[in-house]
Amino acid sequence: MLCCDLPARVTIVEVGLRDGLQAEKVIVPTETKLALARGLIAAGIRHLELTSFVSPRAVPQLADAEALLARLGRPDGVEITALVPNAKGAERALRAGVDGMVVFLSASESHNRKNLNRSIAESLADVAEVARLGAAANVPVHAALSVVFGCPFEGEVPTEKVVALARELFALGIRRLSLGDTTGMATPALVRARVEALRAALPELELVLHFHNTRGVGLVNAWVGLELGITRFESSIGGLGGCPFAPGATGNICTEDLVYLLQESGIETGIDLERLIAVAQEAERAIGRPLPGQVMKAGPRLKLHPLDAVATAKG
């Protein structure tokens, strides 16, 4: 039974292999990434942001973008997308055969220059070129906007600025926009304010929410999104992630934790939680350190244990 007036079904976009791994210092082998991708697909993930066609010098972890796409192929019923910073990256992505491209820029000038080494105006020009290439190839182009809920260099990011940038993206042909909480500065009040303002200004723009759990309220913010009727969320297996160009950035909200919350609230995802937990545990082994996911440690709510699993109290 649904709680309140929440959506009946939610789409999960898994970003762990891109956003999750990009901040890891130890290079994860392509074979390991491939195994994780196949595990996620077997668990029911149907929207996979697999990699990014950024410069290998900027993000060495994602230098195997072409190889990873070539080896994974085009699984039936699975949307494979990739992040692209500019026309050169888009051309690489199109040659590799992606189903969709994601362009990105920041809501603050300071973070945009740190993350992309470009001004916001220059990034918008890049978006226009990528949108043109995508339209010519009949490949959809979506956008991701970073530091929507606050910038680690400038502080508050005015709602009016977010709306103004969304208008410019919409004018360039963007019809789906991910609102990124890059350093976990979102709060329930900010989520509500941003979503309501964007909907009022651009009712035809589909909004996606991308939260980090830096300050422990990632799932709370996701719940507010559900109450607002958002049906598409980005998350990362095991809670991997963190922007390498933003101080204090830690992992995304965990895919398996989000799926658990949704399923226990009567919201369909099409994802097998037990199989997803197994992939999260595999990711933890691959990274070689504990990941922040909680459900991967505790299991589903009704997971039972034998009586002799723990000692009996004495006295």
Number of domains in the chain: 1
- According to the model, what pLDDT value does residue 1 have? 42
**In the structure encoding, which two tokens stand for residue 59, read together?**
């993000």
**In the structure encoding, which two tokens stand for residue 144, read together?**
């991701």
pLDDT band at 253 (very low <50, low <70, confident <90, very high): very high
Tell me the CATH number at 47. Answer: 3.20.20.70
Q: Which of 3, 4, 151, 243 is catalytic?
A: 243
Helix (H) or strand (E) holding 110: helix 109-116
Please check whether residue 98 lies inside any domain of the structure: yes
243 included as an active-site residue: yes
Please check whether residue 4 lies inside any domain of the structure: no
Mean pLDDT of the region 88-113: 97
- Between the alpha carbon of residue 312 and those of residues 127, 141, 304, 309, the distances in Å are 62, 58, 17, 10
**Which of residues 25 and 149 earns the better pLDDT score?**
149
Q: Which domain holds residue 254?
A: 11-309
- According to the model, what pLDDT value does residue 137 have? 98
pLDDT in tens, 64-80: 999 999 999 989 999 99
User: Residue 23 pLDDT more than 90?
Assistant: no
**In the structure encoding, which two tokens stand for residue 92, read together?**
């690489």
User: Residue 13 pLDDT more than 90?
Assistant: yes
- Environment class of 305 (CB within 10 Å of its CB; exposed 0-12, middle 13-18, buried 19+): exposed
Mean pLDDT of the region 253-273: 98
- According to the model, what pLDDT value does residue 53 have? 97
Please check whether residue 5 lies inside any domain of the structure: no
Sign of CA dihedral 288, 291, 294, 299: negative
User: Residue 247 pLDDT more than 80?
Assistant: no
Show Cβ contacts of residue 164 under 8 Å, excluding neighbours closer than 6 positions. Answer: none
Please check whether residue 6 lies inside any domain of the structure: no
Please check whether residue 15 lies inside any domain of the structure: yes
- Per the DSSP assignment, residues forming a β-bridge with 225 are none
Between CA 107 and CA 116, with CA 113 as vertex, the angle to 5 degrees is 90
Please check whether residue 73 lies inside any domain of the structure: yes
pLDDT > 90 fraction of the chain, expressed in percent and rounded: 84
- Per the DSSP assignment, residues forming a β-bridge with 82 are 51, 101
pLDDT band at 212 (very low <50, low <70, confident <90, very high): very high
